[in-house]
Amino acid sequence: MAGQEIISTEPATGAVLWRRMAGDADAEVAQARRSWPEWAARPLAYRIEALRRFANVVRQKADAFTDLIARETGKPLWEARNEVDTVIAKVDISVTAFSERTGQRRIDAPMNTRLALRHKPHGVLAVLGPYNFPAHLPNGHIVPALLAGNAVVFKPSEKTPATGSFLVDCFHAAGIPEGCVRLLIGGADEGKALAAHPDIDGLLFTGSANTGIALNRQFATRPEKILALEMGGNNPIVVWNTPDLYSAAVLVVQSAFTTAGQRCTAARRLIVDQNLYEPLIGEINKLIGRLIIGEPHADPAPFMGPVIDNDAADMLTESFVALSTMGGRPLRHMERPIESRPFLTPGLIDMTGASEKVDVELFGPILQVFRVDTFEEAIAEANDTRYGLSASLVGQDPKLYDQFWANIRAGIVNWNRPTNGASSSAPFGGIGWSGNHRPSAYYAADYCAYPVVSSEADSARASIGLGLRDA
C-alpha cells in the first residue's frame, strides 16, 4: 500500500539491494492517460526510431543491467546476460511483427471505393510483470504496446522492483516520454488497484494461474478492456524409444532445472517408457550430481542459482515432503545446502504409484516421474493436467512425434528439444490454465492494437435502385 517501503534483497546473499516507497496507481494512470494522445498521434516511424534508441541504451548499459538482474533474481551471470540480449532483440522482432500482423493494407473493393485495414492502440495498458524474467517478460509486453501507440503503466514484481526500475529508466533515457512509460512500485495492493483501475484500457499479465484466473473473473464484466494472460504450466517431457540416454538426460535436466526450475515452460513431469526407466534415471541422477549450484558471480559459473527467496524455498521443500506422503518415491531428495538462503538441489520423485496426483505448478527444481507401458498411456498421462503450455518428446521415431503433436494439448510442442527456451520470433502461449488464447512474443502485436476496417470513396455518390415510389 502507498506509504509502505518496498525492499529488494539478493537471494544468494540476503543483502539489501534496493529500496523505495510504494507508489500510487491513481497518480501513475492519470499521468499515462494525459500523455497517451500525443504519443499515439506520432507517426509509426517516430515510435520505431524511439524504441531503437531504447535498444541502444540497453546495449550501452548491458553490463550493469546484467549484474543487477543476476543479483536480484539469483540467476547465474550467463543467464542474466542472455536476458538482457533478449530485451535488446525484442525491438526489431516487434517491428517486424507489427508490420506483419497489424500493419496497414488495402483490400480489394468495388470500383471507385477503397477498403482499408488499419490498427489503433487501445490507450493506457497496465503491465504486471513476474520475478523470474523481470526484464524480458514485461519488456515483451511494453515494447509492442508502445510501438502500437499505447501508454503503459508497469508494475514489476515486488520481488524484483530494481530490475523493473532500471528497465523503465532505459525507456526514458531513450527519449520516450516519461508519461508514456510509468513505473508503479508496490505489492499486491498496488497490483490490485492497477488491475481494477477504471482508466486503464487493458491489462497484460504474466504470472501464476491462480492470479490469472482471478483477473479473468474480474474482467468478465468489462468486455471493453483487453486482457492478455500468460500463465504457468505443469509441463510434460516424454522420453520414448531413444538409444542416446545421455542426451535424453541432458534435455530432461535442462527442461526441469534451468533457472532453478523457475520458468513457466519448465518440465514438471517426466513420463518415461518403463523399459528405459532405470537407465534413464541413472543418467539423470549422475548429471544432477555434477550440476554446480551457486551464487550468480561464482567461478566456475553455476548451472543454477537459488530460488527467489526463503519463502519459495520453504514451500518447495514442504511440497516435496507432501508428494512423498502421497506415495511418491524419492529418487533424489531435495536438499537445502545453506539453511538461511534459498539454494535448493534438484529433487526427483517417482509418482507412478502415488495415491493422488497434484495438478499444480511447483515453481522450482522438482521433477515428478511417471512410468508407463505404452505410448498411448504416455500421451494420456501428459494430457492429464488443466494446464497446456509446453510439452516435449524425446525419441527417434518421426511417426511417434506426429502422433504426439496431433494429440498433445499444449501451445508449444517440441521434439528432441527442451520444454523451455522459446523463441521471441514465434508466438508464445498455451491453452487451459496456461492462458486465455492471447499468445505473447511474436503475437503480442495482436493484443496491443485493434483492427479498424474502412470503406472509403473520394466523393459521395449513392442511389437507391429498388423500393422507392416514383417521384
Instruction: Cite the active site residues.
Output: 230, 264
Beta strands 151-155 and 181-183 are parallel
Query: Torsion angle, CA of 122/126/132/135, rounded to 10 degrees?
Result: 70
Nearest Cα residue to 166 out of 125, 138, 146, 145: 138
Peptide bond into 300 cis (omega under 30): yes
Beginning with the edge strand found earlier in the chain, give each strand of the sheet holding 390-394 in spatial order: 329-332, 347-350, 366-372, 267-273, 235-239, 390-394, 412-415
Distance CA 181, CA 125 (A): 10
Distance CA 305, CA 286 (A): 19
Return the SS3 of 290: helix
Amino acid at 289: G
233 in Cβ contact with 388 (< 8 Å): yes
Nearest Cα residue to 254 out of 342, 344, 341, 346: 346
Nearest Cα residue to 315 out of 351, 258, 261: 261
Q: Which residues contact 415 (CB under 8 A, 6 or more apart)?
A: 392, 393, 395, 401, 404, 405
Beta strands 329-332 and 412-415 are unpaired
The grid coordinates of residue 13 equal: 546473499
Helix (H) or strand (E) holding 351: none
Amino acid at 377: E
Distance CA 334, CA 293 (A): 13
Distance CA 256, CA 344 (A): 13
For 136, which DSSP code?
H
